[in-house]
Amino acid sequence: MLVDVLLPLNFDHSFTYQSDKKLKIGHFVLVSFKNKEIVGIVWDLKPKPLKKNIKIKKIIEVLNLPNISKNKINFIEKMASYNLVNKGMVLNLFLYKKGFSSFNKGLKKITDFSEFNPYTNQNVELSNEQNKILRSIEEKISFNQYSANLLQGIPGSGKTHVYFEIIKSALKEGCQVLVLLPEKVLSEQIAKRFSNFFRYEPAIWHSGIKDKAKKKIWKGIFSNEIKLVLGARSALFLPFQKLKLIIIDEEHDSSYKQEEGLPFSARDMAILQASIERFPIFLVSATPSVETFYNAQKKKYNYYCLQNRYNQSDLPEIKTVKLKKENTSENNFISELVTKEIKSYLQTGDQVLFFLNRRGHSTFLFCYNCMKRLECPKCSVGLVYHKKNNVAICHYCNHISKLKRKCENNQTCKFKFYGVGLEKIYEEIQIKFKGYSSDILSSDLTDYAKFKPQLQNIENNKTKIIVATQIVSKGFNFKNLNCIVAVNCDSTFLGNDIRASEKNYQLLYQLAGRAGRFNKKSKIFLQTFDDQNSIFNSLKKFNSEDFYKNEINFRKHSKLPPFYKFISIIVSGKNSFHVEKYAVKLKNSLPRNEFIEIYGPVSAAIYRIKSDFRFRLLVKYNPKVTPQTEIKKRLELSRLPNNLKLQIDVDPINFF
């Protein structure tokens, strides 16, 4: 028989092969393609007529793996269509990344999955509010019926325990459950909570897990032996056989958006998958995205809200501290008022967290002799000084430069260091708070293997002062942390980000929620040059409704998401003239009408990355229409020259 096979390559169509065996749609098969053996899936049993004299290759092997279901095939088609990518690239997400030859080695020996069996007969005392919410959820949801649900609650209100009970119900019915987490580092502490509650070893899936463990988890999932999985974005594409519940913790988090390679939102694709396969999905957050909150207000999603802390502890007191230029010098970014308050917390045995979402030491290096900034030779951005290794680094292409540059008169540049990064704050706290143990947590300084002991020292109150980026704002639960200082609350308002207010509010609210979770008076200090900013008033009251109401009104008036949607198209290449010329040609070919507007082309906010010049087109459309199919046709007809690249991002969250 002849069948069409979809391959995990950058093609939107399948290829015809011959088989001696009777096959079904969704079978995994091994085929030869361009003299390489590659795994694909049977896509269609009725191939299109072929041209004469074409030699049809035989399928090499039918793999002993469960079929990809028709629902999954439907999902692949819809995900590819919505995100303007080829179906083969979406299929690639579902395949074992190290290759099936690696996967098959020693696979027969893996038969025992008992360590991953969660215990579901435990009873935990919930508060009256939690019980009320749980009863309401149980009345509305069925594990065989699609529903999208928002579970919102102030930090410390016990959202996790509510969804633990929902998971428990699903497991008792024999369902598989996926819990998505935004960061792999967060999975360590959340895994502990799962371990304590369900009395088992959680199956964790992310890029930091070793291949041997991944093989076992992959097999356990497709053989339906592993029922409960915690994972990052890629866990969405694991071979579940009876997935009937997805929980997305910290659903607002930008880490759910993959921007490199194949751009997609794991949150949105999880919702799509739940709607196709007909099961409930829960979006969980203290600060949901504006789109999610709006959908809940419009009754598109069921809405549940916890308004009190589980242990009745007081919410932190939030204070704004107005900064003045004359008060911030090269080594003095922490105000005197804040310094005094911190010392009193440290003296009583409490922990203090300094938060700054900027890696490195200094963000601006300048020589007054030649009057030039130290910039990346490949990107149109300045280099950031990292004192630990005494180098300047580009945060876009990872170019590393020593602080040696020819200046005038055959001299070497003498750089002055400006701007504040995490390392500079760390230096300052070591001077101002001598005698107290401190640690720094940042993605460029924190090795995943070393993160566990770092986290343990914080949890055991051995580390008294934590200096961290947003890596620490997501879901962590430190019982001795009662004072937090946001060093510079203004930095995320800078630039051209349409979501700046939303991101800053979410970040600071989540940060504030880390403090005072165990019945101790706690304070949050927000250092800012603009203490009249309206989001600070919402934060001080812990009043989310205020913020969302204002932000939704602003978005509606400005025709921004969720009232309008965007598709970002970036054309890039080595020759600026060729890039702009093609971008103009592309704009003229794209569809437009009363529901669709095209902006640009203009130079991207960062004009050059990795030596490529970049021009941006922005498609803005009313959600009443779905222009992706027509846009994809026009893009194919426009024929991208070999020397140019096209990056398409549907529902972008960044605009650099």
Contact yes or no for 103/215 (Cβ under 8 A): yes
User: Residue 273: its pLDDT value, please?
Assistant: 98
Q: What is the mean pLDDT of the chain?
A: 88
Give the model confidence (pLDDT) of 179-233 as tens digits: 999 876 656 678 888 888 998 888 999 888 888 888 899 999 999 999 999 999 9
Q: Which CATH architecture has domain 109-306?
A: 3-Layer(aba) Sandwich (3.40)
CATH H-level superfamily of 2-105:
PriA, 3(prime) DNA-binding domain (3.40.1440.60)
Quick one: average pLDDT of 493-520? Answer: 75
Amino acid at position 152, single letter: Q
Q: Which CATH class is domain 317-358+420-556?
A: alpha beta
User: Residue 602: its pLDDT value, please?
Assistant: 95
Quick one: average pLDDT of 53-81? Answer: 92
DSSP 6-56: E-SSS-SS-EEEE-SS---TT-EEEEEETTEEEEEEEEESSPPPPPTTPPP
Q: Taking the CA atoms of the chain, what radius of gyration do you get in angstroms? A: 27
User: Residue 487: its pLDDT value, please?
Assistant: 87
Quick one: average pLDDT of 561-581? Answer: 96
Containing H/E element for 176? strand 176-180
User: Residue 523: its pLDDT value, please?
Assistant: 87
Amino acid at position 578, single letter: H
Q: Which residue has the higher pLDDT, 419 or 330?
A: 419
Most confident of 110-124, 148-162, 576-590: 576-590
Domain ranges within the chain, ordered by starting residue: 2-105, 109-306, 317-358+420-556, 364-418, 565-650
Q: Give how far Cα 273 sits from Cα of 76, 205, 206, 560, Å.
A: 9, 19, 20, 26
DSSP 284-335: EESS--HHHHHHHHTTSSEEEEE-S-TT-PPPPEEEEEE--GGG-BTTB-S-
Give the model confidence (pLDDT) of 292-301 as tens digits: 999 999 999 9
Count of beta carbons in the 10 Å neighbourhood of residue 304: 21
Give percent of the chain above pLDDT 70. Answer: 92
For helices 628-638 and 70-83, give the axis angle rounded to 10 degrees.
70
The set of residues, in sequence order, having a beta carbon less than 8 Å from that of 167 and lying 6+ positions away, is: 177, 179, 228, 245, 247
Which of the 8 DSSP states describes residue 244? E
Fold (topology level) of 565-650: Alpha-Beta Plaits (3.30.70)
Which of the 8 DSSP states describes residue 601? E
Quick one: average pLDDT of 485-514? Answer: 78
User: Residue 518: its pLDDT value, please?
Assistant: 60
User: Residue 156: its pLDDT value, please?
Assistant: 78
Indicate whether 593 pLDDT > 70: yes
d(Cα 479, Cα 514) in Å, to the nearest integer? Answer: 9
Q: Which residue has the higher pLDDT, 648 or 361?
A: 648
> Do 109-306 and 565-650 have matching folds?
no
d(Cα 5, Cα 13) in Å, to the nearest integer? Answer: 9
Q: Which residues pair with 32 in a beta bridge?
A: 37
Q: What is the pTM of this model?
A: 0.90
Quick one: average pLDDT of 239-268? Answer: 94
